[in-house]
Structure formats: C-alpha cells, structure tokens
Structure 1
Amino acid sequence: MKYRSAFDIIGPVMIGPSSSHTAGAARIGRVARTLFEKQPTKAVISLYGSFAKTYKGHGTDLALVAGILDFDTFDDRIPDALKIAEETGIEVQFLTENAVTEHPNTVKINLYDGEGKELELIGISIGGGTIEITEINSFKLKLSGANPAILVLHEDRFGMISAVTSILSRNEINIGHMEVSRKDRGDVAVMVIEMDHQIDDGSFAELSFLPGVTQVIRLVD
C-alpha cells in the first residue's frame, strides 16, 4: 500500500482511539449511509478479524454507527452514537464472524428502511483512516472513498460505458479511477467512477436520464 502523504499514515482529524478501528470504521459507515440515501431503520453490522475481537475496546461499534448516522470522523457525538441511533429509531445489531477474510479489519453492513429497501456493503479499513469498499449488493468493486465518486447502475448492454464517459468528457470531468462490474451477462451492471472533483448537478441529471441507466448515486467526498 502506497501512501500519498504523511497524513495518510498519521490519520485524519478524528475522535480516537484508533485511526484504522475508529476513523476508518466511521468512514465505511458513512459511505454506506450515503449509498443508502436515507436514514435506515435497521442496521446489521457483521465484524470480521480484528474488528470482531476488539470492536468494543477500540470504539469501532460507535464509529460504524456514527458513520451510519452521517457523522464525520471528528464529530464529538461519536461516543454517544449508539444512544443517538436508538433515540432516532435505528435498530442496531452487531454480529461477530469467524470467517477468515483477506483483510483483518473487515466489516459487512446491511441497511434496511422497513419498506423493502436494502443495502449490503463490505468495507475494509487499511490504516491511517484509509478505507476500501470491496462489495456493494454482491457487486465486486474497489472504491477508496477518498475522492468524489458516483455509482451508476445500468443495463448491461452495448454502448453504456461510452454513453456515460461521453457525458463526463463533454462536461470536462476527469476520471481518476473507473471499474465496471456485472452479475450476469445482459443483467444489471454497475460503474464505479472516481473523479478529480465533485460532479455538478447538470452532469448528474444528464446521467440520471440516460437510457439504460436505472440509478445514479453520488458519493460525497
């Protein structure tokens, strides 16, 4: 893993005690909340590896729930996240798993709204508050969460990638990283696009109304 600056090793401004177990966890939770696009009514959080062993002592449980509440890493409400979640009507369940994962700081978050909407996200905290999202709703991907990004859910058919990237090019939006994943040929696919700056509302609307696109989700940096 290469770090871009000393701050990637030291970690972000945060409520402690650990950048990987607290700040990273909060960021993963916040990505899940952003992708869910609303406050959930239930969160099932499955912890693996060192997360499963130390989550209470390192405040990982508080940080994950704080992220789901849309709190940033430095929010002084993090120590009260579980209480705030209960007060706002979010049922939280923690599960510790024995399965061996590729990275010790791995978490799976399942969010529900009580009306049929669901999200499953798997993320890892790789140190210094840096994270990586490796799976969303069974789609394998690689999303750092460090840059402005969009997720484009679309039909898996000819010309979709070109149509999306043409809109970004026409609006002078530079792509830093892009991945495409699909479940089955001709089924639903997802593009993960990280950009140099946040996408503007006009470009976002163009993508949303593109034939074959079912949903566009903006991930706030």
Structure 2
Amino acid sequence: MKYRSAFDIIGPVMIGPSSSHTAGAARIGRVARTLFEKQPTKAVIHLYGSFAKTYKGHGTDLALVAGIMDFDTFDERIPDALKIAEEVGLEVEFIEEDAVTEHPNTVRINLFDGKGKELEIVGISIGGGTIEITEINSFKLKLSGANPAILVVHQDRFGLISSVTTVLSRYQINIGHMEVSRKEKGDIAVMVIEMDHKLDESVVSELNALEGVTQVIRLVN
C-alpha cells in the first residue's frame, strides 16, 4: 500500500510508543469492535511475527484491547486497557503464533458475546498507524480503514452489486475502492466499499432494505 503523505509515515496523534505496534494495533482492534457492533465479552488475540515477539514491550496488547473497547489512538486510557477490560467484563486471551505471515505485524482477532455471536478478522499494521484488514470471517478482502466504508453481507446473485451501487449513485456517493469476496458461487458474499464521504443512516437503511442484502455495517472513519 502506498503512503499518501509524510503524515502516514510520521504517524497519527497517539499514545505511544510505536505508530505501527500501538496506533496501528488500536485501529485494528477498533475496526473489529465496529464490525462486531457491540462490546464483546471475550477476545482471543493471535499475534504473528513482530507482533508476537514484541507486543508487551511496545504496548501492542494494550492497544489492541483498547481498540476492541472502542478507544481511539490518542485515548489516555490505553495504558490501563487490560485493567479496564477486566473491570467491564471483557475476557482477553493472547496467543503467540509461530506461523510465518506475509506481513510481520499481523494479528487475528476472534470476538465473542457469550450468546453465540462471533467474529474473526485478520489485520496488519503497515506503518505510520496505517492498517489493512485482509480477512473477515474467512472472506478475503482489503479494507484500509483510512476512509468511510461499508461492509455489505449479501446473497451472491445476479444484479445485487448493481443495486447497491445504484443506491450510492443516486445519493452522489463516490466510490474510492470496492471489492467482493465469496466462498462459493451462489452462497453468502461480502462487499467492501470505501467512499469519499460518510453515509447517512437513511442511505444505510435503504441498502439494508434491498432484496438479498443480509446486513450493512457502516465503518465510520
């Protein structure tokens, strides 16, 4: 992924020490929390590569948990994230993995609510606080988290992608990046759309009402 400016390298306003291991980790955790749509009761966090080797020293563990609790990168509560998680009833488990991944700063997060709801995402922190989500519930995709975006869960069927983009076009929403992932033909598919502007709730409701759409999750940047 290309950097857009020098600020992508310098990093965001954050609680340190590292933009890639702390700010990026917090952003990955926060995307997971947004996709889960509620506060989970348990988080199992699998760390790979550099994350697995240095997560305690660089505060990656604190940042990931802070993000899962919806704290921003500059939230002063980040150093106390593990203590706060315990206080709010969020059980956290860290697992250091030996598997070699394409990027050294890789994490897989599994979230649970104790009532059957589960989510799995894979994210990477590529420097300067910039991240990519590369997998959601085994669907391969690419989500930067840098722009307003929606995740559309839908039936894999003819014309549905056109229906979604027609709604966005009617509201003059410009699409910056879009991709579709499916496991099997005709099964459930996932559409990721990154846009130049945030969507109003009315647009999300209209997308949710489309035949064949199961769920629309808005990721607010």
When the two structures are superposed, what TM-score results if normalisation uses the length of structure 2? 0.99
Q: Show the counterpart of 2:113.
A: 113
Mapped partners of 1:216, 1:3: distance in 2? 29
Deviation sequence 1:63-109 (CA, Å, 0-9, x none)? 00000000000000000000000000000000000000000000000
SS in 2 for 1:202: helix
Alignment of 1:34-113 (within 5 A): 34-113=34-113
SS in 2 for 1:50: helix
One-letter amino acid matched to 1:46 = H
Q: Show the counterpart of 1:196.
A: 196
One-letter amino acid matched to 1:215 = Q
Q: Show the counterpart of 1:124.
A: 124
Mapped partners of 1:203, 1:15: distance in 2? 35
Q: Show the counterpart of 1:149.
A: 149
Q: Show the counterpart of 1:176.
A: 176
Mapped partners of 2:171, 2:185: distance in 1? 30
| Runs (5+) with no aligned partner, structure 1 | none
Q: What's the CA shift for 1:200?
A: 1.1
Q: Show the counterpart of 1:216.
A: 216
* Identity level (%): 84
Deviation sequence 1:2-61 (CA, Å, 0-9, x none)? 211111000000000000000000000000000000000000000000000000000000
One-letter amino acid matched to 1:198 = K
Mapped partners of 1:90, 1:201: distance in 2? 29
Deviation sequence 1:160-204 (CA, Å, 0-9, x none)? 100000000001111000000001000000100000010111111
Q: Show the counterpart of 1:164.
A: 164
Mapped partners of 2:131, 2:98: distance in 1? 21
Spell out structure 1 runs of 4+ moving beyond 6 A: none
Q: What's the CA shift for 1:213?
A: 0.2
Mapped partners of 1:211, 1:2: distance in 2? 37
Q: Show the counterpart of 1:3.
A: 3
Aligned residues: 221
| Runs (5+) with no aligned partner, structure 2 | none
Mapped partners of 1:43, 1:220: distance in 2? 22
Mapped partners of 2:35, 2:179: distance in 1? 17
SS in 2 for 1:125: strand
Alignment of 1:16-35 (within 5 A): 16-35=16-35
Mapped partners of 1:11, 1:113: distance in 2? 33
SS in 2 for 1:44: strand
Mapped partners of 1:2, 1:47: distance in 2? 24
Mapped partners of 1:190, 1:30: distance in 2? 20
